[in-house]
Protein backbone atom coordinates (compact mmCIF):
# COMPACT_ATOMS: atom_id res chain seq x y z
CA UNK A 1 0.00 0.00 0.00
CA UNK A 2 1.25 3.51 -0.73
CA UNK A 3 2.02 5.76 2.20
CA UNK A 4 -0.30 8.42 0.80
CA UNK A 5 -3.56 6.47 0.89
CA UNK A 6 -4.84 9.25 3.14
CA UNK A 7 -5.09 11.45 0.06
CA UNK A 8 -7.87 9.32 -1.38
CA UNK A 9 -9.60 9.11 1.98
CA UNK A 10 -9.87 12.89 2.17
CA UNK A 11 -11.60 13.26 -1.18
CA UNK A 12 -15.25 14.15 -1.40
CA UNK A 13 -17.17 11.10 -2.61
CA UNK A 14 -19.11 13.17 -5.12
CA UNK A 15 -15.99 14.01 -7.06
CA UNK A 16 -16.04 10.64 -8.79
CA UNK A 17 -19.71 9.79 -8.50
CA UNK A 18 -21.79 9.69 -11.65
CA UNK A 19 -18.94 10.08 -14.17
CA UNK A 20 -19.67 8.44 -17.48
CA UNK A 21 -17.11 5.70 -18.12
CA UNK A 22 -17.77 5.95 -21.83
CA UNK A 23 -17.38 9.74 -22.01
CA UNK A 24 -14.95 11.17 -24.51
CA UNK A 25 -11.49 12.06 -23.10
CA UNK A 26 -10.59 15.71 -23.72
CA UNK A 27 -7.25 17.12 -24.86
CA UNK A 28 -4.34 16.91 -22.38
CA UNK A 29 -3.30 19.90 -20.27
CA UNK A 30 -0.42 22.09 -21.41
CA UNK A 31 2.99 21.65 -19.78
CA UNK A 32 2.86 24.77 -17.59
CA UNK A 33 -0.55 23.98 -16.08
CA UNK A 34 0.45 20.34 -15.60
CA UNK A 35 3.54 21.50 -13.66
CA UNK A 36 1.54 23.91 -11.48
CA UNK A 37 -0.99 21.23 -10.55
CA UNK A 38 1.72 18.67 -9.79
CA UNK A 39 3.66 21.10 -7.58
CA UNK A 40 0.53 22.11 -5.68
CA UNK A 41 -0.50 18.47 -5.24
CA UNK A 42 2.93 17.51 -3.89
CA UNK A 43 3.00 20.51 -1.56
CA UNK A 44 -0.55 20.22 -0.19
CA UNK A 45 -0.33 16.49 0.51
CA UNK A 46 3.36 16.19 1.42
CA UNK A 47 3.97 13.65 -1.32
CA UNK A 48 7.46 12.14 -0.79
CA UNK A 49 10.04 13.37 -3.27
CA UNK A 50 10.68 9.91 -4.73
CA UNK A 51 7.03 9.27 -5.61
CA UNK A 52 6.12 10.04 -9.22
CA UNK A 53 2.98 12.04 -10.01
CA UNK A 54 1.28 11.82 -13.41
CA UNK A 55 -1.78 13.78 -14.54
CA UNK A 56 -4.23 12.00 -16.77
CA UNK A 57 -6.25 13.69 -19.50
CA UNK A 58 -9.30 15.64 -18.25
CA UNK A 59 -12.68 13.96 -18.69
CA UNK A 60 -16.19 15.42 -18.71
CA UNK A 61 -18.05 15.42 -15.41
CA UNK A 62 -21.61 16.09 -14.31
CA UNK A 63 -20.53 19.15 -12.36
CA UNK A 64 -21.17 22.29 -14.39
CA UNK A 65 -18.01 24.20 -15.22
CA UNK A 66 -15.66 21.38 -14.13
CA UNK A 67 -13.87 18.42 -15.67
CA UNK A 68 -12.72 15.32 -13.86
CA UNK A 69 -8.92 15.18 -13.54
CA UNK A 70 -7.30 11.86 -12.52
CA UNK A 71 -3.92 12.10 -10.79
CA UNK A 72 -1.81 8.93 -10.60
CA UNK A 73 0.75 8.51 -7.78
CA UNK A 74 3.33 5.74 -8.25
CA UNK A 75 6.15 4.25 -6.20
CA UNK A 76 8.04 0.94 -6.29
CA UNK A 77 5.84 -0.50 -9.01
CA UNK A 78 2.56 0.36 -7.25
CA UNK A 79 0.17 3.14 -8.22
CA UNK A 80 -2.99 4.81 -7.05
CA UNK A 81 -5.45 7.14 -8.81
CA UNK A 82 -6.84 10.20 -7.04
CA UNK A 83 -9.60 12.14 -8.79
CA UNK A 84 -10.03 15.90 -8.67
CA UNK A 85 -12.21 18.43 -10.46
CA UNK A 86 -10.56 21.10 -12.63
CA UNK A 87 -12.50 24.20 -13.69
CA UNK A 88 -13.01 24.77 -17.39
CA UNK A 89 -10.96 27.98 -17.21
CA UNK A 90 -8.04 26.00 -15.68
CA UNK A 91 -7.89 28.29 -12.63
CA UNK A 92 -9.44 26.17 -9.88
CA UNK A 93 -8.70 22.65 -8.61
CA UNK A 94 -11.39 21.21 -6.32
CA UNK A 95 -11.11 18.67 -3.54
CA UNK A 96 -12.10 19.55 0.00
CA UNK A 97 -10.25 22.80 -0.58
CA UNK A 98 -9.93 25.33 -3.36
CA UNK A 99 -6.41 25.86 -4.68
CA UNK A 100 -5.62 29.12 -6.43
CA UNK A 101 -3.20 28.06 -9.18
CA UNK A 102 -2.76 31.62 -10.45
CA UNK A 103 -1.82 33.22 -7.13
CA UNK A 104 -0.02 30.50 -5.17
CA UNK A 105 2.93 32.28 -3.49
CA UNK A 106 5.34 29.45 -4.33
CA UNK A 107 5.07 30.42 -7.99
CA UNK A 108 5.70 34.10 -7.29
CA UNK A 109 8.77 34.24 -5.04
CA UNK A 110 10.32 37.67 -5.41
CA UNK A 111 13.89 37.38 -6.68
CA UNK A 112 14.16 40.91 -8.06
CA UNK A 113 17.59 42.33 -7.35
CA UNK A 114 18.94 39.10 -5.86
CA UNK A 115 22.38 37.93 -7.06
CA UNK A 116 22.12 34.93 -9.38
CA UNK A 117 24.52 32.04 -9.74
CA UNK A 118 24.20 30.25 -13.04
CA UNK A 119 22.38 31.29 -16.16
CA UNK A 120 20.22 34.39 -15.48
CA UNK A 121 17.92 33.28 -18.30
CA UNK A 122 17.54 29.65 -17.19
CA UNK A 123 13.98 28.30 -17.22
CA UNK A 124 14.42 26.59 -13.84
CA UNK A 125 14.99 28.67 -10.72
CA UNK A 126 16.33 27.20 -7.48
CA UNK A 127 15.47 29.46 -4.53
CA UNK A 128 16.92 28.76 -1.08
CA UNK A 129 15.84 30.56 2.08
CA UNK A 130 19.11 30.67 3.99
CA UNK A 131 20.52 31.41 7.44
CA UNK A 132 24.24 32.21 7.35
CA UNK A 133 24.83 30.88 10.89
CA UNK A 134 22.90 27.64 10.39
CA UNK A 135 25.03 24.44 10.25
CA UNK A 136 22.40 22.58 8.21
CA UNK A 137 22.36 25.45 5.70
CA UNK A 138 26.16 25.20 5.52
CA UNK A 139 25.91 21.49 4.77
CA UNK A 140 23.41 22.10 1.99
CA UNK A 141 25.54 24.93 0.60
CA UNK A 142 28.53 22.59 0.39
CA UNK A 143 26.44 20.12 -1.64
CA UNK A 144 25.09 22.78 -3.98
CA UNK A 145 28.44 24.42 -4.70
CA UNK A 146 30.20 23.07 -6.58
CA UNK A 147 28.58 19.64 -7.09
CA UNK A 148 25.00 20.52 -8.08
CA UNK A 149 26.03 23.82 -9.66
CA UNK A 150 28.61 22.12 -11.88
CA UNK A 151 26.22 19.33 -12.82
CA UNK A 152 23.47 21.64 -14.10
CA UNK A 153 25.68 24.43 -15.50
CA UNK A 154 23.49 26.76 -17.60
CA UNK A 155 20.24 24.85 -17.05
CA UNK A 156 19.46 26.28 -13.59
CA UNK A 157 19.80 29.63 -11.87
CA UNK A 158 20.44 29.66 -8.10
CA UNK A 159 19.08 32.41 -5.84
CA UNK A 160 19.36 32.82 -2.05
CA UNK A 161 16.83 34.64 0.12
CA UNK A 162 17.17 35.64 3.78
CA UNK A 163 15.55 33.71 6.61
CA UNK A 164 17.76 34.09 9.71
CA UNK A 165 16.51 32.21 12.76
CA UNK A 166 17.26 35.01 15.16
CA UNK A 167 16.17 33.14 18.30
CA UNK A 168 18.71 30.39 17.63
CA UNK A 169 21.51 32.21 15.81
CA UNK A 170 22.54 35.51 17.40
CA UNK A 171 24.63 36.94 14.54
CA UNK A 172 22.59 35.59 11.61
CA UNK A 173 20.57 38.80 11.17
CA UNK A 174 23.71 40.96 11.12
CA UNK A 175 25.28 38.63 8.56
CA UNK A 176 22.16 38.78 6.36
CA UNK A 177 22.17 42.59 6.42
CA UNK A 178 25.86 42.71 5.47
CA UNK A 179 25.26 40.18 2.71
CA UNK A 180 22.44 42.29 1.29
CA UNK A 181 24.66 45.36 1.41
CA UNK A 182 27.15 43.47 -0.74
CA UNK A 183 24.38 42.18 -3.01
CA UNK A 184 23.39 45.75 -3.81
CA UNK A 185 26.99 46.56 -4.76
CA UNK A 186 28.35 43.45 -6.47
CA UNK A 187 26.85 39.98 -7.01
CA UNK A 188 30.21 38.20 -7.04
CA UNK A 189 31.19 39.78 -3.71
CA UNK A 190 27.85 38.65 -2.26
CA UNK A 191 28.38 35.02 -3.27
CA UNK A 192 31.98 35.02 -2.05
CA UNK A 193 30.74 36.33 1.31
CA UNK A 194 28.09 33.61 1.54
CA UNK A 195 30.67 30.95 0.60
CA UNK A 196 33.06 32.17 3.28
CA UNK A 197 30.51 32.38 6.09
CA UNK A 198 29.14 28.92 5.39
CA UNK A 199 32.62 27.47 5.80
CA UNK A 200 33.77 29.55 8.80
CA UNK A 201 30.79 29.59 11.19
CA UNK A 202 32.84 28.47 14.22
CA UNK A 203 35.53 31.07 13.58
CA UNK A 204 32.98 33.90 13.47
CA UNK A 205 31.11 32.70 16.56
CA UNK A 206 34.33 32.37 18.55
CA UNK A 207 34.87 30.34 21.73
CA UNK A 208 33.23 32.91 24.03
CA UNK A 209 30.34 34.01 21.80
CA UNK A 210 31.31 37.69 21.95
CA UNK A 211 28.70 39.24 19.65
CA UNK A 212 30.56 42.53 19.28
CA UNK A 213 33.58 40.65 17.96
CA UNK A 214 31.36 38.55 15.69
CA UNK A 215 29.70 41.67 14.27
CA UNK A 216 33.06 43.34 13.71
CA UNK A 217 34.39 40.26 11.97
CA UNK A 218 31.32 40.02 9.73
CA UNK A 219 31.70 43.67 8.73
CA UNK A 220 35.40 43.26 8.01
CA UNK A 221 34.84 40.14 5.90
CA UNK A 222 32.23 42.05 3.89
CA UNK A 223 34.66 44.92 3.29
CA UNK A 224 37.41 42.48 2.31
CA UNK A 225 35.16 40.88 -0.28
CA UNK A 226 34.28 44.32 -1.62
CA UNK A 227 37.97 45.15 -1.96
CA UNK A 228 38.66 41.87 -3.77
CA UNK A 229 35.83 42.71 -6.18
CA UNK A 230 37.44 46.14 -6.79
CA UNK A 231 34.52 48.32 -5.78
CA UNK A 232 35.30 51.94 -6.61
CA UNK A 233 35.33 54.73 -4.05
CA UNK A 234 31.66 55.71 -4.36
CA UNK A 235 30.40 52.13 -4.17
CA UNK A 236 32.69 51.41 -1.23
CA UNK A 237 31.37 54.48 0.59
CA UNK A 238 27.81 53.31 -0.04
CA UNK A 239 28.68 49.83 1.20
CA UNK A 240 30.27 51.17 4.40
CA UNK A 241 27.22 53.34 5.06
CA UNK A 242 24.93 50.35 4.52
CA UNK A 243 26.95 48.18 6.90
CA UNK A 244 26.98 50.91 9.55
CA UNK A 245 23.23 51.53 9.27
CA UNK A 246 22.25 47.85 9.72
CA UNK A 247 18.81 48.34 8.20
CA UNK A 248 16.93 45.05 8.68
CA UNK A 249 13.89 45.93 6.57
CA UNK A 250 14.95 44.00 3.45
CA UNK A 251 15.80 40.92 5.49
CA UNK A 252 12.52 41.04 7.37
CA UNK A 253 10.58 41.40 4.11
CA UNK A 254 12.24 38.19 2.93
CA UNK A 255 11.37 36.50 6.22
CA UNK A 256 7.73 37.60 5.86
CA UNK A 257 7.67 36.10 2.38
CA UNK A 258 9.03 32.86 3.81
CA UNK A 259 6.31 32.87 6.47
CA UNK A 260 3.67 33.27 3.76
CA UNK A 261 5.16 30.22 2.04
CA UNK A 262 4.75 28.20 5.24
CA UNK A 263 8.45 27.88 6.00
CA UNK A 264 9.04 26.30 9.41
CA UNK A 265 12.85 26.13 9.34
CA UNK A 266 15.89 26.38 7.12
CA UNK A 267 17.18 25.52 4.65
CA UNK A 268 13.91 25.77 2.74
CA UNK A 269 14.13 25.41 -1.04
CA UNK A 270 11.80 25.88 -3.98
CA UNK A 271 12.41 24.64 -7.52
CA UNK A 272 10.04 26.47 -9.87
CA UNK A 273 7.61 26.47 -6.97
CA UNK A 274 8.08 22.91 -5.72
CA UNK A 275 9.21 22.91 -2.06
CA UNK A 276 12.12 20.93 -0.62
CA UNK A 277 12.57 21.14 3.14
CA UNK A 278 15.79 20.62 5.06
CA UNK A 279 19.36 19.68 4.23
CA UNK A 280 18.43 16.73 2.03
CA UNK A 281 20.77 14.50 -0.01
CA UNK A 282 21.79 16.00 -3.34
CA UNK A 283 20.18 13.12 -5.23
CA UNK A 284 16.80 14.30 -3.92
CA UNK A 285 17.50 17.83 -5.13
CA UNK A 286 18.57 16.46 -8.51
CA UNK A 287 15.32 14.51 -8.83
CA UNK A 288 13.28 17.68 -8.32
CA UNK A 289 15.51 19.72 -10.65
CA UNK A 290 15.18 17.06 -13.35
CA UNK A 291 11.40 17.08 -12.94
CA UNK A 292 11.30 20.86 -13.35
CA UNK A 293 13.59 20.78 -16.38
CA UNK A 294 11.41 18.21 -18.15
CA UNK A 295 8.32 20.32 -17.42
CA UNK A 296 10.07 23.22 -19.15
CA UNK A 297 10.98 21.10 -22.17
CA UNK A 298 14.66 20.88 -21.18
CA UNK A 299 16.78 17.73 -21.09
CA UNK A 300 18.33 17.02 -17.66
CA UNK A 301 21.98 16.00 -17.40
CA UNK A 302 22.60 12.27 -17.98
CA UNK A 303 22.71 10.01 -14.92
CA UNK A 304 26.09 9.67 -13.30
CA UNK A 305 27.97 6.45 -14.01
CA UNK A 306 27.59 3.83 -11.34
CA UNK A 307 30.27 3.98 -8.66
CA UNK A 308 29.45 0.57 -7.24
CA UNK A 309 32.54 -1.46 -6.47
CA UNK A 310 33.08 -4.51 -8.70
CA UNK A 311 31.97 -7.82 -7.24
CA UNK A 312 34.86 -9.62 -5.55
CA UNK A 313 36.31 -12.52 -7.45
CA UNK A 314 35.61 -15.98 -6.15
CA UNK A 315 38.59 -17.38 -4.24
CA UNK A 316 40.76 -19.77 -6.18
CA UNK A 317 40.26 -23.38 -5.19
CA UNK A 318 43.29 -24.77 -3.39
CA UNK A 319 45.40 -27.33 -5.22
CA UNK A 320 44.54 -30.87 -4.34
CA UNK A 321 47.16 -32.51 -2.24
CA UNK A 322 49.12 -35.23 -3.97
| Torsion over CA: 239, 243, 249, 251 (sign) | positive
**Gap between the Cα atoms of 194 and 309, Å rounded:** 36
> Coil, helix or strand for 310?
coil
Domains of the chain: 5-103 (3.10.450), 116-295 (3.40.30.10)
C-alpha neighbours within 13 Å on the C-beta side of residue 61: 21
Give pLDDT tens digits along the chain (322 positions).
344 444 433 333 333 323 333 345 567 899 999 999 999 999 988 999 999 999 999 999 888 999 999 999 999 999 999 999 999 999 999 985 677 888 889 999 999 999 999 999 999 999 999 999 999 999 999 999 999 999 999 999 999 999 999 999 999 999 999 999 999 999 999 999 999 999 999 999 999 889 999 999 999 999 999 999 999 889 999 999 999 999 999 999 999 999 999 999 999 999 999 999 888 999 999 999 999 999 999 999 999 887 655 556 655 555 544 4
pTM of the predicted model, to two decimals? 0.76
69: phi > 0 → left, psi -120 to 50 → alpha, else beta; which?
beta
Amino acid sequence: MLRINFVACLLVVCLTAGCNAQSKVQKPLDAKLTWQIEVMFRSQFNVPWDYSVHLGAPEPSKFAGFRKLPIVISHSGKSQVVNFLLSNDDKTLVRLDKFDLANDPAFHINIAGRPIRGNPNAKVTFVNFDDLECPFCARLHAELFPSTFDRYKNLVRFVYKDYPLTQLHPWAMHAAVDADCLAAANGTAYWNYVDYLHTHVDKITGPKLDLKKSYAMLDQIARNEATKSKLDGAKMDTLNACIAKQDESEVRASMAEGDALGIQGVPAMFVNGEPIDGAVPEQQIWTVLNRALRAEGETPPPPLPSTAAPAPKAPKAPDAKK
